[in-house]
Structures are given as structure tokens and as C-alpha cells.
């Protein structure tokens, strides 16, 4: 199968039906849409907690507001498992982008008239979070429709898309720090709102329109949960990804506190630390193609998680900003190497009939860990200090590594998904929507958003 270069890494460019992914007009449009949207999301990653700290001066309030977003993910992931099958990827993704744009634009307007309270801020972020689980499930369904069920092809396609979008994660925090220092954090949120508008326009133009779909079968949280429990690797890796998400999101929540304690409250330093992590994940995503030449996807996913567990304890030491940035870059690299194969392997091992529900519920459960991370990080650091907070996160990373190792070891004797060329790869489609997803031109590969490391 011919490869494509993404920053030096070889990635698959041919879908199961032989179409070259490089020439996909839909893929080009969606790649641009996601890159722009993630760039805006990274601006908010810095601006949102900074604005809350500016308004209240309370790390606990910062944790409450940011945790509200992930609470929306968890709640609507539980009750919205059928949304993707019922509405279709186009409606879910375009509608989600437009709703997020309107809500994020509302925040600076309320701030300008002195009506932005912590409660209102949290309510807006909760509603924004409600769109994420259905959105991410839509992304994974259309990715399967393009790449089919070849484990390595799906991993490489995912890694290629991540390599492009991780560039936004590298530039976004740096740009956010400069913008906050130049204008205000509330004004930076308008840029994120604009990025969602651009994404919605691009997706609306290229994704297929659903017409005349038959009503889908009734879906439920229980169906998705059974899909996650049906396989030992899916079960253990889902729990491991949940623990990972607690650690990653708590780490992101602690970055502003690190700059307050060690960098004289500099927003530029906060952006630089997040950019160090983003740069590491970019390099890791680029390295996936070459790494797959040496090890299979399952082993690569577990090795990356073990590496993260080995490096993460260094963050609990009283390091300077430069040393902290180096540690974040290394953990980002290891996570970038692990994330694409972990996503692909877990996805392909879910039962096909209940994969849509399983994806939605998996997203909700994993990001519920992010809710806990954001909610607990501020109070923990405030009461016990940064060192103790990072030490607790290192324990969570170690537990996740154990679960990934268990999933790998207990399924090592089982065959991987069929490689391209060994069996016809049938594109996977959302239930009862065969005519709405066209594998040859109409569906894009995608990446998780915002920066939710357990799912992205």
C-alpha cells in the first residue's frame, strides 16, 4: 500500500476501496476544519482558566468552571448514545460547531456588561461539553468508513490526521499567551467562537446530507456499556484511558498554578508549557508510522502508556519552568505515540452492531475522568500543594499503565484485525444509515477535540 509523508512519517493513503486519501476533497476540507477548530480550542484552554482566575482569584472556582464542561460530556454521553445514529454525522458535527460558537461568543459579551458570574460561566461550559461525546462518536464512525477494519491502516490514518491537528495544539497555547498579554482573556474566547463557525461552514459544505433515513433502532446507555464490557482489552483499556484522562486534565488545570508559583503569573509561560506538551504530541503522532514498522499497534499503545508512567513522576519535583516544559514535551511525545494505536485497536474490538453506542458511552466515561481531574486539581493543589498534586497524578498514570499491560498480555494470542489485502475491508457505517455515509468520497478521518487525551 503506498504511503504518504506527514513530517517524515509514513502514513496510509489508500482507503479500503482503493481511493487515495490525499485526493479526498472531503478529507481536505475536514482536516482544515478540525485544524482551525482545534487552534481555537487551544486558545480557550489558556484563556478560560485565566479569565476565571482574573474574575475570582480562586483556583477552586477555576476547577469548577472547567469541570462543568466535562460534566456536560459525561451527562449527555450517557443519555445521548443514540444521537449519532438518529441524526447522522453531518447534523451532529455541524450543529455542535454552531452551538459552541454561539455560546463561546456569549461569554465575552456578558463580561463586557459585567454580567459574567461563575455560575453562568459554568452553565455555558456545561452546555458546550454536552456536544462533545456525540461529536467524537461521529468522528470515529466516519473514520471507520474511510479506513475500514485494517488495524494498521486505521492507526496510520488516525496518526496522520493527529499530526496535522497537533500542530494547532503546538501553536495555539503560544498564540493564546501572547493574545492574553496583548488584549484580554475574554476577547480571546471570540477567536475560539470564530474557529467553530469556520469549522461548521467547511463541514456543512462537504459532509453528505441525510435524506429519507429510516428511524434507527432504540439505543441506550446499557447497549454501549455492554459493548465496552464484551472484550477484556476494551474493558481494561477503557478503564486505563479513564485514569489517564483524570491525570491529563488535572495536569492542564494545574498549569496556570505552576506559572503563578514559578513564573510570576506569566500568561506567556502558561502558553509555553502547554505548547511544550503540544509539540511533544505532534512529534509522537509523526513517529507512529515509523514505529509501526517495528512493533504492532497493541504493543505500541501499551509501550507509550508505560513510558508516560515512568516520566510523569518527574513533574512532582520542584522544577523550574524550563525543566517542567521538557517533562511535558516528553510525556506529550509518549502520549502521541500511544494514542493513535490505542484508539484504533479499541475501536475495532468493539462489537460492530453496538459500536456507535459503545463509542459514545466510552467517550462519556473517559471524559467523566476529565471532569474529576479538573474538579479536584485546584482544591488538591490549594490544600496539599503542587508537589502532592502531581505525585497523585503520577500514581494514576502508573495504574493506567498496569491496565494497558494487562489488556495487552491477556489478548496477545488473539489475532489482530485483518491487514489490508488479506481480506476485503468493508467500511463500517453508523447503524441504519448506509446511504448517508459514502466511503469513496463523503466521509473524513477525524481526531478528537478538544484536547481530551484519553480519546483524542
Cα–Cα distance for residue pair 282/12, rounded to 1 Å:
18
Q: In the chain, how many domains are there?
A: 1
Neighbour tally for 432: CB within 10 Å: 15
Q: Do the domain assignments include residue 443?
A: no
β-bridge partners, 12: 3
Q: How high is the pLDDT of residue 331?
A: 94
Q: Could you state, in chain order, the average pLDDT of each consecutive group of 10 residues for the chain (456 residues)? A: 32 43 63 81 83 84 80 72 71 90 93 90 91 77 66 72 72 77 84 92 77 46 83 92 91 83 68 83 86 90 95 87 90 91 88 80 79 83 86 94 94 60 39 33 34 47
Confirm whether 390 is domain-assigned: yes
Backbone angles phi, psi at 438, to 5 degrees: -110, 110
Structural domain span for residue 427: 20-436
Look at residue 442 and tell me if it is in a domain: no
The span from the CA of 274 to the CA of 168, in Å, is 11
Q: Report the pLDDT value the prediction gives residue 403, as an integer from 0 to 100.
A: 96
- pLDDT per position as a tens digit, 353-384: 888 778 778 877 887 787 788 778 888 888 88
How much is the pLDDT for 263?
61
Per-residue pLDDT, 425: 38
Predicted pLDDT at 427: 39
| Residue 158 domain-assigned (yes or no) | yes
> Residue 213: what pLDDT?
42
Q: Is residue 441 part of a domain?
A: no
d(CA 429, CA 82): 14
> What pLDDT is stored for residue 15 in this prediction?
47
pTM for this one?
A: 0.68
Residue 241 inside a domain? The answer is yes
The predicted structure's pLDDT at residue 208: 65
Q: What is the CATH number of the domain that holds 235?
A: 1.20.1250.20
Domain assignment of residue 172, yes or no: yes
Print burial letters for 249-286: b (CB count within 10 Å at least 16), e (below 16). Answer: bbbbbbbbbbbbebbeebbbbbbbbbbbbbbbbbbbbb
Q: Give the C-alpha distances (Å, rounded to integers) separating 277 from 188, 242, 311, 326, 381.
A: 21, 19, 13, 8, 21
Asked, for residue 300, whether it belongs to a domain, the answer is yes
Is omega for the bond preceding 450 within 30 degrees of 0, making it cis?
yes
Q: Is the distance from CB of 282 to CB of 166 less than 8 angstroms?
A: yes
- What interhelical angle do 25-56 and 118-130 show, nearest 10? 160
Other Cβ atoms less than 10 A from the Cβ of 119: the count is 11
Amino acid at each position: 500500500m503506498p504511503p504518504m509523508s506527514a513530517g517524515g512519517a509514513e502514513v496510509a493513503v489508500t482507503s479500503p476501496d482503493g481511493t487515495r486519501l490525499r485526493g479526498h476533497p472531503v478529507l481536505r476540507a475536514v482536516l482544515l476544519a478540525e485544524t482551525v477548530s482545534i487552534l481555537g480550542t487551544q486558545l480557550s484552554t489558556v484563556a478560560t482558566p485565566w479569565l476565571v482566575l482574573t474574575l475570582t482569584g480562586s483556583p477552586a472556582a477555576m476547577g469548577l468552571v472547567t469541570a462543568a464542561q466535562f460534566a456536560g460530556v459525561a451527562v449527555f454521553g450517557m443519555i445521548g448514545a443514540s444521537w449519532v445514529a438518529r441524526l447522522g454525522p453531518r447534523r451532529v458535527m455541524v450543529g455542535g460547531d454552531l452551538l459552541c460558537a454561539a455560546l463561546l461568543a456569549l461569554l465575552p459579551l456578558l463580561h463586557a456588561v459585567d454580567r459574567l458570574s461563575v455560575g453562568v460561566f459554568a452553565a455555558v461550559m456545561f452546555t458546550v461539553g454536552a456536544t462533545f461525546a456525540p461529536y467524537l462518536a461521529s468522528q470515529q464512525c466516519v473514520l471507520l468508513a474511510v479506513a475500514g477494519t485494517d488495524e494498521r491502516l486505521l492507526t496510520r490514518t488516525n496518526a496522520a490526521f493527529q499530526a496535522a491537528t497537533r500542530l494547532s495544539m503546538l501553536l495555539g497555547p503560544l498564540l493564546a499567551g501572547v493574545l492574553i498579554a496583548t488584549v484580554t482573556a475574554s476577547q480571546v474566547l471570540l477567536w475560539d467562537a470564530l474557529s467553530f463557525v469556520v469549522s461548521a461552514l467547511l463541514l456543512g459544505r462537504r459532509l453528505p446530507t441525510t435524506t429519507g433515513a429510516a428511524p434507527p433502532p432504540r439505543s441506550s446507555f446499557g447497549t454501549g456499556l455492554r459493548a465496552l464490557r464484551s472484550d477484556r482489552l476494551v474493558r481494561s483499556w477503557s478503564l486505563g484511558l479513564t485514569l489517564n484522562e483524570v491525570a491529563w486534565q488535572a495536569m492542564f488545570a494545574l498549569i496556570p498554578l505552576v506559572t503563578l508559583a514559578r513564573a510570576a503569573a506569566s500568561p506567556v509561560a502558561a502558553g509555553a508549557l502547554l505548547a511544550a506538551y503540544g509539540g511533544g504530541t505532534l512529534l509522537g503522532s509523526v513517529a507512529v508510522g515509523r514505529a509501526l514498522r517495528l512493533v504492532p499497534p497493541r504493543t505500541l499503545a501499551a509501550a507509550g502508556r508505560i513510558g508516560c508512567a515512568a516520566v510523569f513522576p518527574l513533574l512532582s519535583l520542584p522544577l523550574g519552568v524550563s525543566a517542567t516544559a521538557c517533562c511535558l514535551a516528553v510525556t506529550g511525545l509518549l502520549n502521541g505515540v500511544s494514542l493513535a494505536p490505542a484508539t484504533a485497536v479499541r475501536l475495532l474490538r468493539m462489537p460492530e452492531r453496538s459500536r456507535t453506542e459503545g463509542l459514545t458511552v466510552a467517550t462519556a466515561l473517559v471524559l467523566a475522568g476529565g471532569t474529576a481531574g479538573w474538579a479536584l486539581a485546584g482544591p488538591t493543589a490549594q490544600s496539599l500543594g503542587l508537589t502532592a498534586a502531581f505525585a497523585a497524578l503520577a500514581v494514576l498514570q502508573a495504574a493506567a499503565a498496569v491496565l494497558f499491560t494487562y489488556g495487552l498480555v491477556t489478548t496477545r494470542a488473539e489475532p489482530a484485525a485483518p491487514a489490508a489485502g488479506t481480506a476485503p475491508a468493508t467500511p463500517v457505517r453508523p447503524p441504519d444509515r448506509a446511504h448517508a455515509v459514502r466511503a469513496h468520497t463523503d466521509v473524513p478521518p477525524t481526531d478528537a477535540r478538544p484536547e481530551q487525551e484519553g480519546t483524542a
